[in-house]
Chains A and B, each alone.
Chain A
Amino acid sequence: MIQSFSALALNGFREARRNRITLVIGFFAVAMLACTTLVTEVTIHTFNRVLTDVGLGVMSVMLVLLAIFLSSGLLSREIERRTVFLIVSKPISRGLFLAGRLAGNMLTLTVLLVGMAAVFFFQMSLYRDGITSTQFVAIGVLWFELLLLSSFGFVMSSFSSQIVSAVVTTGMYFAGHLATDVYNISAKSKTEAIRVLGKVTYYLLPNLSRLNYRPQASYAVQVAPNEILSSVAYGTAYAGVLVVVAMLLFSRRDFK
């Protein structure tokens, strides 16, 4: 089982590595990150803050785009191209196939995240006191945000086309970051129904702002370990539920 899982995961990574879009986004992201130094040319003070802000922002945007692109097409593309026929007919469960594919996706994102983080920290090392522990926290927790987003794209991909999956996952990304605002705004309403609706929406949507420590990294604010653990546990649990849903949908699906 472990052999099949790792074979699928490494194959997923190989697929992404040989995909031109992944390569272009990857190179573009690293180039943009390298160019963030130029921002300091128009900044009088607080180079560290501006670099952290722009650098982490670029990493986040690029990796989120890639996570949506990769996850939304992963299963639907396999089904449309019928590549899935040759794989799920092997002596492996559909759940293992799905887990292996998700792991391959996350491996790709992890390699890119590590590469981009290396460029980012190299730049920050050029400044005195440029590197802070909160930057590590922001980058580490970004991985869980990518995991959650990929899992959501995966669920969508198990029953809909790539375009639909990508659009809904993108919408979910923005909605997830606005979940707290939805809750706060609806809480101020005088209508009970809207307050309840706001609350239900808040609990159903993935609260992606819980996985965003980029503002704290920009201002070099220390984050309590308990809070980090709680956010990581939240992201992992939410992604876990989504993966289980994807497995249930995928295991019942007919490949016509």
Chain B
Amino acid sequence: MQTTADHPPIEVRGLSKTYRLGFWMSRKVQALKSLDLTVTAGQVYGLLGPNGAGKSTTIKVLMNLVRASSGEARLFGLPPDFKEARRHIGFVPENPAPYEYLTGKEFLKLSGQLSGLSGQTLDRRVKEVLQIVGMERAAGLQIRRYSKGMIQRIALAQAIIHKPKLLILDEPTSGLDPVGRRQMRDLILAEREQGTTVLFCTHIIPDVEALCDRVAVLVGGNRVREGSVKDLLTSDAPLFETILEGVALSQIHAWGYQPKYSKEIGERLIVRTSDQEAQSLARKVLGLSGRIIQLQPVRFSLEDLFLQALTEVKESVGTEIT
């Protein structure tokens, strides 16, 4: 069966997964609840969520490592258990564990062979990907001698060796130092520039902001937010943060302002209001011989969005079914 260009790289409809735990498998934990997701060609799509939100489970279902309890997942129009569906996919799991008795080069060769490469094409691609991930010098070392960052890079190399159309990455930057994270981000960006569709999950928000076109926020197995990063960050009216001195919060309330956020730190007061309110508040404070220490727009970050979503969804991580 052939994959077709008409189908999106990833299509998930009503996907649910319940794990059975314990010796008698009597404990049930619902990791995913009727998830819908579509990743179109060329997108970098981020799955954001706290630990246990269902991000890795979604990826494992897509990579046929875990079977869905209900719903369906499609890769280029094919179910994940079709090996043809995985032919155009590169995958890096969370904490990747390549065979440590192999050298980096041997592991890449094995990965290439399993992905259908052979002969000179395989040898050429091994050299190319080693160069791309900057591992030429360590290629002859056994993987057991690699650092975490080197393992992560060799794992990415095996994922791109067959030039996949879709890259699926589970926490690709987790556990890396800032330099390693930057390198990994650059490698992902380079793949995006070549037109590769990327789905990756993380709980590191700056990575999502730096890399993604579109984001879904998962909490407790539910998708609580979904949209383009730009839309999600500009959907709310912009707020301004004013840092004042010489005015009490009660006075501000007495003037009729209802700040979205306020905090008193010693003599200083921090309030967040709308643009218009901030301007008039500043005038009143100055008129009362108060001081404006700072007045600046509040950038609504993905972190705010993420925390907002978490607050809205009261459910805890991995709902247990009794």
Contacts and interface: CB of A to CB of B under 8 A. Distances in A.
B260 to A, nearest CB: 42
Contact of B101 (A4, A15, A87): A15
A7 to B, nearest CB: 4
A86 B97 contact: yes
Nearest to B86: A91
A256 B19 contact: yes
A93 B83 contact: yes
Nearest to B60: A255
Contacts of B60: 254-256
B118 A82 contact: no
A7 B113 CA distance: 7
A81 interface: yes
A8 B110 CA distance: 8
A19 B113 contact: no
Interface string A219-248: 000000000000000000000000000000
Interface centre among A4, A86, A93 (most CB of B within 10 A): A86
A82 B97 contact: yes
Contacts of B95: 82
Contacts of B106: 14
Interface string A85-97: 1111111110000
Nearest to B61: A254
B63 interface: yes
Interface in B229-270: none
A90 B111 contact: yes
A2 B301 CA distance: 51
A92 B83 contact: yes
Given A7-B113, A15-B101, A83-B99, A89 B91 contact: yes
A46 interface: no
Interface string B75-113: 000000001101101010101111101100010001101
Contact of A7 (B99, B101, B114): B114
A43 interface: no
Contacts of B110: 7, 11
Interface residues on A, range: 20 to 34
Nearest to A97: B114
Interface centre among B63, B89, B110, B118 (most CB of A within 10 A): B110
A81 B93 CA distance: 12
Interface string B39-69: 0000000000000000000001001111100
B291 to A, nearest CB: 57
B196 interface: no
A89 B169 CA distance: 12
A87 B63 CA distance: 11
B99 to A, nearest CB: 6
B222 interface: no
Contacts of B63: 85, 89
A97 B158 CA distance: 17
B65 A86 contact: no
Contacts of A87: 114
A18 interface: yes
Contacts of A254: 19, 60, 65-67
B83 A11 contact: no
A19 B101 CA distance: 8
B174 to A, nearest CB: 14
Nearest to A11: B110
Contacts of A18: 101
Interface centre among A4, A11, A83, A89 (most CB of B within 10 A): A89
B155 interface: yes
Contact of B115 (A14, A82, A83, A90): A90
A-B residue pairs, 9 tightest by C-beta: A7-B113, A90-B114, A85-B93, A91-B87, A255-B65, A89-B91, A18-B101, A91-B83, A82-B97
Interface of A: 3-4, 7-8, 11, 14-15, 18-19, 81-83, 85-93, 252, 254-256
Given A15-B99, A89-B63, 15 more contacts: A3-B113, A3-B116, A15-B101, A83-B99, A85-B65, A86-B97, A86-B98, A88-B65, A90-B115, A91-B115, A92-B83, A92-B114, A255-B60, A255-B65, A256-B66
6 contacts: A3-B116, A3-B118, A14-B101, A89-B86, A90-B86, A254-B66
